[in-house]
Structure 1
Amino acid sequence: MSKELSEEGTRDVSAETCVKQKEIKKETRLGMSVKKDDDFGKWYSEVCIRGQLLSYYDVQGCYILKPSAIKVWNLIKAFFDAKIEKMGVEEHTFPLFVTPCALEKEKKHIEGFAPELAWVTKAGESELAVPLAIRPTSETIMYPHFSKEIRSYRDLPLKANQWVNVVRWEVSDPVPFIRSREFLWQEGHTAFATQAEADKEVLHILDLYSDVYEKLFAVPVIKGKKSENEKFSGGNYTTSVEAFIPSTGRGIQAATSHSLGQRFANMFDITFEDKEGHRSNVWQNSWGLSTRSIGVMVMTHGDDKGLVFPPLVAPVQVVVIPVPFIGADTKMIYEACEAVKATLHEAGFRAKEDNRDNYACGWKYSDSEQKGVPLRIEIGPRDLASNQVRMVRRDTGAKVDIPRGDLVERVRDVLGEIQRSLFDAAKTKLDNCIQVVETWDEFMEALSQKKLILAPWCDEVEVEELVKKRTKEETGGAAAKTLCAPLDQPELKDDTLCFASGKKATTWSYWGRSY
């Protein structure tokens, strides 16, 4: 007899079963083929595929999102919709196509997207009289409608949001979730009578995006303002939440909230009559979060075994696995597993029983780990006899036996601990990556160590362009750029100089390479 995955060595299986398990693993290639620190790019793609988040499609840069990814996206939607509905935001769905006439109205805006536009030029065998662009974003689709809907101050504020797909024909190498040609997102567009109302909303939405990452995904982010170079084209200013991936030393723009000022209102004639009878342009904002967020979560928490889901966004929070050893009452074990799953469902948990009889227990354990299920419950003959279950945490591998009567309370407590533990671990890693510098030499040294760099800056466009150029030339790799100036600014002394130009510094800004 040999032992299988048992702390006390009481879960016995035959040698023949172990041989079969090895054959199954070889046949299915269960388990990651590469470690996260050895080849991050290959590891990441493999985690997404083996974790059953997506499949590749025969159009490069487009992916089939599988049920697990859609479940995560729907959990985000439910969380975010509940927040913005309290703000009076109403859901719309606007058309997919944009006319060249609408694009022409905002020429500067669309110049930023021109290389990414996908065009429809034929319908069947007939050439279209006027080609249509597929939306890369919806300003030019929604704002003519705004112009018709808004007449007086009584029509304000107007707050619209939609959950849709967009197409940006990326020329760079695609990365699942992070950089794809078609992706899902929500985009909010709002109009106000005053700048003060609009500015207040920009920061409120930014706080909600921070909550999505930190409370749902257990991913720490930095709230900040983008540089003039990096802001939304045509906007007044852009705020963002920025994540950082320690394994690659790259920042990633996680979500954005833009102040558009009155420029779009002027272009699309979005005016209102105020209480005094005067006509004015509205003040506008736009804000968006995409399925890129799922990729950020995978990169942050995933390990050498596969996905690691924070419980609040886990498609399956608990998997119940029967452990039917030879000679045990298999029927009673399966019935106990079904009962435990039903109890957890009744208590509101997303639970699943893995009762497949063509896979060994060890295979199922590895499968659930690869899919990132936060908590595994095992029930074998000893558990049945003791009226208990064994719980195994995905994040730490810690095992504990608990009485069936305490099941719901203990599961709730452990899932909460996992959620907090994942955030704390990610926050510690982020904090350890932040390097404060004040000189160019310190900056380059920190960049070589894959740090998230906080540096004093003169906030000049030409200097940022110079930093990009110099870092690319001096390292022979990707250029560094500003990620954001944190809203929570450290003290900036009067005599502090810009690390890159030697001029008087006016702000602290985060710098680094980025996705």
Structure 2
Amino acid sequence: MSKGLPKRSEDYSLWYNELVKKADLAENSAVRGCMVIKPYGFSIWEKMQAEIDRMFKETGHTNAYFPLFIPKSYLSKEADHVEGFAKECAVVTHYRLKNDENGNGVVVDPDAKLEEELIVRPTSETVIWSTYKNWVQSYRDLPILVNQWANVVRWEMRTRLFLRTAEFLWQEGHTAHATKQEAIDESIQMMNVYATFAEEFMGVPVVKGIKSESERFAGALETYCIEALMQDGKALQAGTSHFLGQNFAKAFDVKFATKEGGLEHVWGTSWGVSTRLMGALIMAHSDDHGLVLPPKLAPIQVVIVPIYKGEEQLAQIRAKVDEITAQLRAKGISVKFDDRDTHKPGFKFAEWELKGVPVRFAMGPRDLENNTLEIARRDTGEKQSFDLSGDVAAKVEELLNDIQNSIYQKAVDFRTEHTTEVDSYEDFKKVLDGKGGFVSAHWDGTAETEDKIKEETKATIRCIPLDRKEEAGVCIYSGKPSQGRVLFAKAY
């Protein structure tokens, strides 16, 4: 194996970057700010995608696809939206190259200038709402419950693999409804879908809430979100769902004939999660030895490493492993038999530990004699000998469930330990400079106070929790009255 990882406690950022690369998840590409997602990393994303897509379809949504290019004039139609994205847009101005007369390769053909520039999609509200205008005439055409899996481009200056890249993969849902309440219910439903996925599949506990006005999505009336806490005490926005009101329907004149015979603008939502979830998965659970993957999202749930001398011993082990593999696969458990003769068992153990495989079997000649194998779990490193006269598939099923629950509980305990209520600005700063995490504090509700706190501490309001107690208090910064506590944190 290559040199080990840096320690999280010494340099969390370097640890993260090295882990992403050494675990074969992703690497920087030749295009600045973009990434190559490698096969092992993409296989984790595919498992995420499959589960999220299933949940969307169970809630009545279907997939479609809309263009990558958006006419510049579309972005101008919704004022808040264009202001929110203008600084991040990549713009296509020409449609042809030609050979340089001076022999310097190809150059942009000045005669091939587009009449109207095209924006490479940073998000698709505008192009989708321009389409919905053609789809909606009557209340009978509603609701429209559409999602697309796509890539988007936001021209980021400071990038980090999975967490912030100029191009990333995501899904974006865009729905249209006859009533305001239906659209609000949809926004909340999708936030809950994201929360269920994060907690039950990723093993990451999240806080459900709404964004403050200044943190809200550009063009939305309300942004619902799920916020997760990483092991370095920083928060990560893991998913957002936006109630758009009638803003985009008005911008693109999407109206419908009501049952009563009137004509009204429709109500909209949009919601999305991205490959940023990969960053959350890595940072929430992994340790100084490598990835720790929740079994439900691990591409390989069990790896079997043979310990042998010579082909005869390997053949005997393989025969036994074939039996075990058949039993595991019958239960839907993914298994890999690592019989590469190019690497020693110690190398393989370290490699699969780095890649976060939840369960490892080791089997040697003595195990064959005794009809046993050694089982090691990735999350705790515990090893035990298992008698193969027992039900190995049932044992592994139980173990995988236990690992899934244990890593979730560990993350819950970490968040509990790193959620602190404070009543003064001094204590607020002490917590942020110390253990970090979520800081629950009273806020006067003004953008001015929010901006000043951010400027002085780099902490932002992550969300106004949906389950917060409404209680009168005093803002930690301004001393003005407050209606309740909000969650602050430094964030990715």
Q: TM-score range by the shorter chain?
A: over 0.9
Give 2:237's aligned amino acid: Q
Which whole-Å deviations, capped at 9, do the CAs of 1:143-184 have from their partners, x for residues lacking one? 01111100010011111100111111102x211100011111
Residue 412 of structure 1: aligned partner: 397
Could you tell me which residue of structure 1 aligns to residue 235 of structure 2? 251
Report the more deviating stretch, 115-124 or 285-294: 115-124
- Structure 2 residue 109 is the aligned partner of structure 1 residue 109: no
C-alpha deviation, 1:434, in angstroms: 0.5
**Which segment drifts farther, 209-218 or 334-343?**
334-343
The answer to whether the aligner puts 1:333 opposite 2:317 as a matched pair is: yes
Give the Cα–Cα distance (whole angstroms) in 1 for the partners of residues 437 and 72 of structure 2. Answer: 43
Q: 1:448 aligns with which of 433, 441, 464?
A: 433
> In the alignment, is the contact (CA less than 8 A) between 2:177 and 2:268 conserved in 1?
yes
Cα distance in 2, alignment partners of residues 459 and 60 from structure 1: 39
2:64 maps to 92
Q: Deviations over 1:90-133 (max 9, x none)?
A: 11011100111212212331221111111122223233323211
Distance 1:104 1:205 in 2: 28
Q: Select between 108-117 and 231-240 the one with higher mean Cα deviation.
A: 108-117
Structure 1 Cα separation of the partners of residues 363 and 469 of structure 2 = 53
Counterpart of 1:373, as a letter, is V
Deviation at 1:425, TM superposition (A): 0.5
Write the distance in 2 (CA, Å) between the matches of 1:499 and 1:342.
61
1:200 counterpart residue number:
185
Give the distance between the partners of 1:149 and 1:469, measured in 2 at CA: 45
Q: Which runs of 5+ in 1 are unaligned?
A: 1-24, 472-478
Q: Residue 453 of structure 2 aligns with which residue?
A: 467
Deviates more, 1:343-352 or 1:304-313: 343-352
1:467 CA drift (Å): 1.3
Match of 1:423 in 2: 408
> Structure 1 stretches (4+) deviating beyond 6 angstroms?
none
Counterpart-to-counterpart distance in 1, 2:385 and 2:3: 27
Structure 2 contact 65–148 (Cα < 8 Å) conserved: yes
Q: CA deviation at 1:350?
A: 1.2
Query: Which residue of the partner structure matches residue 310 of structure 1?
Result: 294
Unaligned runs of 5+ in 2: 98-108
Q: Quote how far apart the aligned CAs of 1:326 are.
A: 7.0
Partner Cα distance (1:67, 1:447) in 2: 38
1:486-510 superposed Cα distances (whole Å, 9 cap, x missing partner): 0010351x3x111111111112100
Is the counterpart of residue 343 in structure 1 residue 327 in structure 2? yes
Aligned to 1:15: none
Aligned to 2:336, the other structure's residue is in SS state strand
Contact 2:72/2:119 (<8 A) preserved: yes
How far did residue 136 of structure 1 move?
Answer: 0.4
The answer to whether the 8 Å contact 1:246/1:433 transfers is no
CA distance in 2, matches of 1:137, 1:491: 35
Secondary structure of 1:59's aligned partner: coil
- Tell me the amino acid that sits aligned with residue 446 of structure 1: V
Aligned CA RMSD, in angstroms, stands at 1.5
1:510 and 2:477 matched: no
| TM-score, normalization by structure 1 | 0.90
* 2:4 corresponding residue in structure 1: 31
1:86 deviates by 2.6
Letter in 2 for 1:302: S
- State the partner residue of 2:17: 45
Residue 268 (structure 2) pairs with residue 297 (structure 1): no
Kept in 2: contact 1:30–1:366 (CA 8 A): no
The equivalent position to 1:482 in structure 2, one of 454, 461, 465, is 461
Residue pair 2:470, 2:484 contacting (<8 A) in 1 also: no
Question: Within 2, Cα distance between the matches of 1:351 and 1:330?
Answer: 18
Q: How does 1:104-143 map to 2 (within 5 A)?
A: 104-125=76-97, 126=109, 127-129=112-114, 130-143=116-129
Alpha-carbon deviations, 1:411-461, whole Å to 9, x = none? 000000000000011110111001101111111111111231000111111
Matching of residue 358 in structure 1 with residue 342 in structure 2: yes
1:57 to 3, 25, 29: 29
In the alignment, is residue 154 of structure 1 matched against residue 140 of structure 2? yes
Give the 3-state SS of the residue equivalent to 2:224 in structure 1.
strand
Q: Deviations over 1:182-235 (max 9, x none)?
A: 111010000111111111111111111011111111011110110000001111
Per the TM alignment, residue 327 of structure 1 is displaced from its structure 2 partner at its CA by 10
SS in 1 for 2:147: strand
Q: Which residue of structure 1 aligns with residue 221 of structure 2?
A: 236
Q: CA deviation at 1:77?
A: 2.1
Residues 320 and 341 in structure 1, CA contact (< 8 A), matched pair in contact too: no
- CA–CA distance in structure 1, aligned partners of residues 56 and 294 of structure 2: 23
Give the counterpart letter for 1:216 in structure 2.
F
Q: Is residue 393 from structure 1 mapped to residue 377 from structure 2 by the alignment? A: yes
1:145 aligns with 2:131: yes
The equivalent residue for 2:161 is: 176
Q: Is the partner of 2:187 in helix, strand or coil?
A: helix
Tell me: CA distance 1:470–1:36, structure 2 relative to 1, closer, same or farther (3 Å): closer
Give the TM-score, by structure 2 length.
Answer: 0.94
| Pick aligned residue for 1:260 from 241, 244, 247 | 244
What corresponds to 2:49 in structure 1? 77
Deviation, 1:462, is 1.3
